[in-house]
Structure formats: C-alpha cells, structure tokens
Structure 1
Amino acid sequence: MTEFEDRFSQINIGKSPTRRKKAYPQHLYPTPTRDSEPHRRTPQSTLPPTPQLSNPPHTPSRAISNELKSKSTINHQDHRIISYPMSEQQGSKKQFQFSFMRETWSSQQKKNIGPLTNTTNNPLTMSKPVVPTRKRSEQRKSSQTSRPRRLASNTVPIKLQLSQATNILSDFEISSPTKPKTKYHHPNAASPIKLPTATHFNPPTRTASNSSDNVFNRLYPKHEQEAPPRTIKRTRPKISNIPELYNILSRKQPDLFKCEDPPVLNSPIPVDQVPMNSLNIYERGEIIRKSELYYVPTECRTIDVKNSANNFGFDDNKGHYIIIPQDHINYRFQILDTLGNGSFGNVILAKDHKLNSTVAVKVINNNLNWSLQAVSEIKLLKLLNEKESNENILRYITHFNFRSHMCIATELLSLNLYTLLELTNFQGLSIDIIKIFTKQILNGIQYLHKYNIIHCDIKPENIMIKLPSTPNSTDISIKLIDFGSACYTNETSFTYIQSRFYRAPEVILGSNYNEKIDIWSFGCVITELFMGSPLFPGKSEIEQVGLILELLGSPKSGTILRMRRHLTRSHGDNHYLENSLSIPNEKQLKRTLLFKIFDINGKLNLQLVNSISAATGIKRQFKVNSRGLDIVMGLNKPGMTMSPYNKSTLLRFLGKIFIWDPIERAGASELLQEPFLL
C-alpha cells in the first residue's frame, strides 16, 4: 500500500483533469510485434485492476485471451470474455446514462460487478457482454496483419482480482459519477487531496423522502417552488351586432351617417347666361361644343397652352388629373373632395347638379391602357345595370370623356370593408354580422357569375357599405365595386390578377382559371372580417404558396397534372397570339410555379419551396399541414363566445371554399344553401 499512497501524493492539486487515466496491469497490454508499432509501457503497479465497465467500444485491433476463451466456451459458448484495455469515457457514458432514475437491484450490481466476472460461479452476474461486430473487410485485414496475442504467464485469476479490488476499494471511498465527491486525507500530506473524477453529472443523494419524486425534482432540487401561474391571453371580444357597429362608427366619423334628399332633375343653364369672364380661353372653346351646362365655376382655372406634355396643365407628371375643389367636371359635377386615388386615377366626391345628388366620379389616368380598361369596366357596368337590378352591385349613372380622361359616375357609398376594420381597430366582427355580410357578398358574386363575368379583384377595398341616414337604424347594404379587372369566362387572358392576399392558388401557380377564383377571394375576405387580419399575408407569391400549403396541405398529383395539360393545350390553341403581351410563350409557361415546384409526377417539392423562399429573404421554413383553420382563426381560444353549431357550420362552409382544385371548390349558389347561412 505504500507505493499506492506515494502515487496519490504526487498528484498536482493545481490542475483539474477532466479524465482520469486508468492504470492497468502489465499483462493486459499486448506485446509489440515486428509489424506493429511498439506500445507505451506503464510501470507495474501493485494496485489490483479496477473493475472494467460493460459494453466496451469497438476497436479495430483486439486480442482475445486463449485461456479465458477456453474456460468460457466450455459451458457458455455465447459468452466471449475480452481482455483488452477499455475506454473509461465511453464505458461511463453507457453505465451512467440513466443515473438520474431510481436505483434498482440490477443497477447496483452493475456498479459493483464488472464484466470480467465468471458467469458460472458468481450469482451476481451481469448480462452477457456485447461484443461489437466488425465488417468483413475489417476482419479480413486484421487476420492478415495481426497475430494472436497471449497474456503474460503471471496472470491473476479473475475471482482473485475481483476480491482484491473489492477489499482495496472498500478502504478508500473514491468519487464516482453516481456518488458525492469525498476527500481522501493522505497520511503524509498537509492538506486533503481531492481525487480526480470523471466530468459527469452528479445527481443529488436520494433518500427515502424524495425517492418517489419525479425526475425533474431529483435533477433540479433548487427549483422546488412552484412556478407562477401562466397568464392566459384572451381574445378581444368581437363586435356583436349591427347597432354596436354603428355606434363605434358614429363616434369615429359622424359624417358617415347623413340624410340625402331624393334626386331631382334640374334644367340646364343656357349658354348666353354663362359669365364668360370667369372662364379661360380653353374653357370658352369647350362651352361651344357642349350641348348642356349645369355647373360653371366662378373662378378661372390657370392653364398652360404651350405645355402639351402635361395635357396643357390639367395633369401632373404621372398623368393624373389635378383636382381643384369647387372646380367642375364636364360642366355638370362640382368637385367637393377627393375620396381616393391610385394608379388607375382619382375618385372624386362631387355634387351632380343635374340630379341634385352627391355622387362619386372616377377619373381615369390619362393613359391608353387605363383608358381601354375603363372602357371594359363601363361595358360591364352598363350590362349589369341594364339586365336586371341587383342591390349588391354598384349602381352606374353615366360615363364621359373629359379633357382626355375617361370618367365614370356612380352612386356614392359610405366606406369599404378595410376602412371598417381600421375604424374598429381591427377588432373583428361576430358571427352574426359575418352572416349578414356573407349573404349579400355571395348574392352579388352569384349575379356576376350568372352572366359569366369574373370580378378578378375581390378584396375588402372593393366591397363597400352603404350606411343609413341615422346610426339608430339596423339597415345595411353591401355592394361590389371596381370592375376594372373583370372579364368574361371565355376571355381570361390576363395572368397577373387579384391582390396577393386574396389570390387564388391556380392564379399563383400560373394555371388557367375560371369564376372560382372569386370564391377563393371571398373566403379570404370573410375570414379577415372575423379575425381582423388577413388569412394568408404572404409578402411574395412563394410565401403565399407556403402559407396555403401549411393550412391546406399539398394538392393532389392529378390536379397538378390536369392543370398542366389544360394550360399546354390552351397555349397551343392560342399560338397565333404568341407575340401578345397577355399570352405567355412556352418558355414562360415552364417558369411558372405549376412546373417549377412540382416534379414530373405532379408531387410537391417542399425542399425547393423552402429554398426559393429563403433566397427571397424569407427565414421561415414551411411545413405541409402544420396549421389548422380553427387554430388560425382562434375559434378555440379562451373568451371565444361561439356556439358549437356556429363553429362546426363555419368550418364546413370555409372547407368548401379553401380547396386547391377549382373543380372541387363550391360555387356561389351552392354556398348560399349551406347551413351556416340558413
């Protein structure tokens, strides 16, 4: 024992080794051969070998003791006793990987009995050691380059080694990964020496009081106090009914509710009674060509006859008509205010002096393309208003050309649905209000589809409300507006239509489309009215596809293949329009998402979708079918006051709208018969 104590006294206390190197007996190290590199020999120690750990790691070269092999294969041919140095780190990981669990009788035996026990005589035997298998090529190589190695002649029997090791280890309580660290006082040392141990997690000492606790309390004894209760975020209450909605709107903008006099037809002003001094030279020439005059401004408008680039001073640099309050439009409409503007032009609040009513005048941009689109809108409006009256379609009054600008006069409405959400702080509407809005919007869409007209741009900004004259009323009228992008079902030649948040998947993919794209946009609108925020707020088309994939899953392969076939066939039929800007060529067809993100069999390539989205600056990785419609809409959140019947019928209603295949998507007539609206 003197040599053993001297070795421990030489340990450097200043260092804290993370791994303790075992001192194995001399006979366990193989003798060097002529072909192999000489092994480093360690001085022979009087300390008996430490019990080895179970499940040794695989090493490419190992020597099996002939003596032990002959003894083990007599009664147990399946047991192979391997006598070679084993890695302490790997063995400790295997032995103590479940050290946080409760100790059992078998786990205690694993810590006290090593794998070198004789299975025939020792009743406290472990499970038979697992010998790592090697590949055939590795075995063939080792058999050719290595020789069988024998143990030294002074080999100590296994039972004697274990007994000696047990007696010595019982005299010194050495720190282990499963016990608290203790200090060993050397008799010749002035201060206690701390033995180096393996860097493993040391669980707390278990007693009878905490042996039945869960794993978390045993691993983290400091966190015994309970965590504070988690605050549940409740949803904001929805606007329950129409009177509550009108009350909010009247507080925000009282002028939305105003009483209008019934229209009265006024007589035109004679030309000889018009004061010519208040007009410029350009306007004097206009009056001569006008057959009827109803309003003439008292102040003269400044123009630049030499500036023909900006329409003689009537337009700005972008081609928009310069709006001046109290000025006239076509000597009939008095400009009161500007309701809105955009790339199409301006919308003016004006007084119609012919009918003595307030109307909205849409002044189109002085551009050929916008003018042609305005002509198409005028034709559709006249058709929809002449066939039969529909209360959910914008009422057309008249149209004319004024100073190179196409103008459309329509009835005046109060506000659009986006402004409604904005005035209500995007709080969202209740199911009762949603049902009223849904019926009227669907009624207008059904009327359009009856005459084979596709709106192509249904969104909250293009759906307006006509409010009553007083907020105490419960009447409400919803109307579809802006038919500038509308077309007939047999004239679907535009590829870039619909606003992105409300764009149907067949339009995003670049496939052919029909009137079902209006149904998809309608579904996005009513969910936004309920939630207060868009359902698919994609910043790009690829992100829009990813959001749809998360909610609806991947489309069927047959749907994609059919879309490709129909698109290719329609492109072949329109080969004579190959140079047209509205018809894509064959190369442009292959660049569409319909051919790009699906393989030849029509199956989705999700990895490509995520890579394209990452290339466009989107950090989010999309997962198919990772969201549910009820979760996104918050139907299960605390504070959601909705009956189970309304919830189930709403999900069924939306389930017939949000479908990849437009053939399977329900139409307006079918949706009006759903239980949600009955």
Structure 2
Amino acid sequence: MADEEEEEWSGSESGDYTSEDEGTEDYRRGGYHAVRIGDTFKNGRYVVQSKLGWGHFSTVWLAWDTHFSRYVALKVQKSAQHYTEAAMDEITILQQIADGDKEDKKCVVKLLDHFNHLGANGQHVCMVFEYLGDNLLTLIKYSDYRGMPIHMVKEICFHVLVGLDYLHRELSIIHTDLKPENILLLSMIDPSKDPRKSGTPIILPNCKDKTVLDSLKSTNGDLSRNQKKKIRRKAKRAAQGCVDKEVSAEADVDPETSGAAESSSSEKTNVDSVEERPTSSGNANRLSDADGTKATDQASQGNRRGGRSTRRKPLASVDLKCKLVDFGNACWTFKQFTNDIQTGQYRCPEVILGSNYSTSADLWSFACICFELATGDVLFDPHSGDKSDRDEV
C-alpha cells in the first residue's frame, strides 16, 4: 500500500476527522463518487438503498442485489491512483480469503464481487460484501459499558479465534487493525433495525438513472408507435411512483434510526446523557480505523436507545456469531506495506517500539478486545498526540 494512504491513516488518529459525514471537500476529481439513494451499479445489478458509513478511502452503502435478491454492502473507493492501488491490494487479500473458505466456516467476511465504476470524478473500484450486522462496539454500548457475561465473551472470542487461526496459520495474513469496530455480528442486535427482518420496502432504481434510460432507448427502436406510447405512459407512472416512494420513505424515517444498518467502524462522537456517559475517555474518544470508516448511524444508536433496561433486553437473545471485517490495511507475514499499523488502544508493544511485527500483533489486539468485552472499558487508553519515550511505554 502506498505511503500516501498511511499519511491519510495517521491523519485519522490526530482527530482531524470527527464529523458525522465525509463533507463535500473530497467530492472532486480523484475523490469520492457522488452516490444517491436509488442509483444503480454494474449495469443495474446493485441498487443503492441507504448509506452505511464512510471512510477516508471510500463510502459504504447498503444495496440490493437484483440478481440474487439479497442485501449487500457496496464499498465505493475514491478514484485517485493510490486509492485504486490500495483497493486492488485489498481485493487480492479478500479473494485469497474467499478461495480458501468455500463452506463459509472461517468467520471472515466474504467478498462477493468487485468491479470498476466510471463517474464524474474518475474511475472508482467498487467492492461488494455480504451484508452483516452490528459491530462489537455497538454490543458493548448495549451493555452500558459495564461488560458482558463471561459465557457471552467466550462465545464471541471463539469465533474471532477461528477467523484469526485461518488468517494466520493457513494464509499467513495479518489483519493489522483488529478492534471491536472491525468485528461484526451476523445480524442486528435489534431485529427491527435489520432490513432483512423488518420488512423494509426495497427502493427501486433511481428514476433518472442513466442505465434505465439507455435500456429504454435501446428497445424503442424496435417498437411500434402504440407500443412506444404505452412505454412512455408506464415510465411516467413509474417515475411518479418512485417520487412518491422516496417522499413517503423520508416521512417514515425515524430520526434516531435513519442511515446505516451496519459498518466496519463507529462514530467518534459520543451522545450519551451525562449519567450514562462512560468515564473512560477511551470509550468516549476512540481513535478511528485505518480507513477511518464511520457508521453514519448504527454505532451511535447504541448510545441513545432509551433506558438501560431497554438496551440490555435484546442482549439475552442476540446471536453472537461474528466475522472479521475491514482488510484495507491487511498484509502478509512475508509482504508488509508499512510499520505504522493498528489503532492506538489495540497497538502492540513491538509496533510502538518500531520493531518487526507478525501475526502476534493481532493476538495482542484480540486480548485487548477480550478485556473490553468483559469489562466495558478499554485496557489501554493512550491519548491522541502524546509523545511518550520508550521508557514511558
């Protein structure tokens, strides 16, 4: 991965990126692709439903796969050359992971598809992933940062270790950014927030989408005048229906639950009430991940879902199966891209000291996560910008 990407990653640690959305500055040549709800990708196959999150390299969207009638997570990378190169490195690793896990038993996210998309700001690499649920940070928030029962912690850790064993022993891959935000449950903690279970209507393709218009144009040449009139009338009704659908959808959106259903990371902002705010600054002011990906909604919902009893109730029945996600900074034991890895709270001593690292770096992060799941607090709480010498470390 290129040096420029690591600078971007380092910037995420400095607290420069704390807003709840990506802003408009990077919607330019070489930057983000402007995505709208109802837009289609790959010749109409994927229809955008809602925004899941954003990062310094990409935006992530909930999409409907029309070929297989399923929800997927669509990641749209920035278009500049170094972002494209980073995406291709990630795809290489993800394909290796998928090729060795045909039976889907290794507890690692599946790359389903990838392609290039040409937009106004350039050509963007797009990755399609299986759609998963809440991340472990959201689960920790549901416990009011008081920790979870040990039997639940053990079950989660079992799945994480299955994934790490597969990556380390069979593929020689190091994740390099393991943390609660990058471990996703297979489903949502609250089923009413899961589009697969809640009966949320599927959003149709954007009525002005170019691929739809092009398909109409290509067929019109072979039609009679009456057939063309019928198509125009149907198109007009469909357009009106699409507009009505968007308006009604906006009117029905709960202001607390609109936006993302899941993402590989969490908001950095903390909106707990004063009495429920965790005392640890490690929970209130997390360092963002390597890609800086932030959920637009779901991760922060855990902070404002009502009283403690309301939030704790779903924990008793939650499915604790989970998968490792976000391989944007992964590498191999024999081919490493940078020495500047891991998020601060989960960074191992050898990386802090600038020494060589290997798969044990992930195991250090894993141990930190075990403590956090059991207690609700981070084991180590480095403060952004601190310049500690080696003796202090």
Query: TM-score over 0.5 for the alignment?
Result: yes
Structure 2 partner of 1:525: 369
Q: Is 1:453 aligned to residue 150 of structure 2?
A: no
Q: CA separation in 2, counterparts of 1:318 and 1:502?
A: 32
Residue in 2 that maps onto 1:327 = 39
**Equivalent residue number for residue 67 of structure 2:** 354
Residue 94 (structure 2) pairs with residue 381 (structure 1): yes
Alignment-derived partner of residue 491 in structure 1: 335
Q: In the alignment, residue 415 of structure 1 is paired with which amino acid? A: D
1:339 correspondence with 2:52: yes
Alpha-carbon distance in 2 for matches of 1:488, 1:321: 30
CA displacement at 1:384 relative to structure 2: 1.1
Specify the alignment match of 1:439 in structure 2.
Answer: 158
Q: Secondary structure at the match of 1:491?
A: coil
Distance (Å, rounded) in 2 between the aligned partners of 1:440 and 1:314: 37
Residue 392 (str. 1) matches residue 107 (str. 2): yes
Q: Equivalent residue of 2:377, what SS?
A: coil
Residue pair 1:500, 1:541 contacting (<8 A) in 2 also: no
CA distance in 2, matches of 1:367, 1:523: 37
Paired position in structure 1 for 2:263: none
Q: Please tell me whether residue 478 in structure 1 is matched to residue 322 in structure 2.
A: yes
Shift of 1:315: 3.6
Deviation at 1:445, TM superposition (A): 0.3
Total equivalences in the alignment: 238
Alignment partner of 1:513 out of 357, 368, 385:
357
SS in 2 for 1:490: coil
Q: 1:174-573 alignment to 2 at 5 Å?
A: 315-316=27-28, 319-330=31-42, 331-388=44-101, 389=103, 390-403=105-118, 404-450=123-169, 451-467=171-187, 475-540=319-384
CA offset digits 1:10-39 (Å, max 9, x no partner)? xxxxxxxxxxxxxxxxxxxxxxxxxxxxxx
Check whether the contact 2:33–2:78 (CA below 8 A) recurs between aligned residues. yes
Q: For 1:446 and 1:398, how far apart are their aligned partners in 2?
A: 25
In 2: Cα distance, 1:455 partner to 1:449 partner: 9
Matched residue type, 2:83: W
Larger Rg: 1
* Matched position secondary structure for 1:377: helix
| d(CA) in 1 for partners of 2:158, 2:109 | 16
TM-score after normalising by structure 2: 0.56
TM-score w.r.t. the length of structure 1 is 0.33
Q: Secondary structure at the match of 1:415?
A: coil
> Conserved in 2, the CA contact under 8 Å of 1:417 and 1:465?
yes
Letter in 2 for 1:327: D
Tell me: CA distance 1:408–1:422, structure 2 relative to 1, closer, same or farther (3 Å): same
Which residue identity does 1:513 align to in structure 2?
A: Y
Quick one: percent identity of the two aligned structures?
Answer: 34
Asked if the contact 1:314/1:321 (under 8 Å) is kept, the reply is no
Q: Greater share of strand residues, 1 or 2?
A: 2
Give SS of 1:340's match: strand
TM-fit CA distance, 1:532: 1.2
Deviation, 1:317, is 7.2
2:334 partner SS:
helix
Q: Higher relative contact order at CA 8 Å, sep ≥6: structure 1 or structure 2? A: 2
Q: Which runs of 5+ in 1 are unaligned?
A: 1-309, 546-592, 598-605, 610-621, 623-678
Q: Give the secondary-structure state (helix, strand or coil) at the position aligned to 2:48.
A: strand
Q: CA RMSD in A?
A: 2.5
What is the alpha-carbon distance in structure 2 between the residues aligned to residue 480 and residue 359 of structure 1? 16
Task: Report the alpha carbon displacement of residue 421 of structure 1 after superposing the two structures with TM.
Answer: 1.9
| Native 8 Å contact 1:316 1:322 kept in 2 | no
In terms of mean alpha carbon deviation, does 351-360 or 383-392 score higher?
Answer: 383-392
Report the 3-state secondary structure (helix = DSSP H, G, I; strand = E; otherwise coil) of the residue aligned with 2:112. Answer: strand
> What secondary structure, in the 3-state scheme, does the structure 1 residue paired with 2:61 have?
strand
Aligned partners of 1:534 and 1:427: how far apart in 2? 11
Quick one: which amino acid aligns to residue 377 of structure 2? S
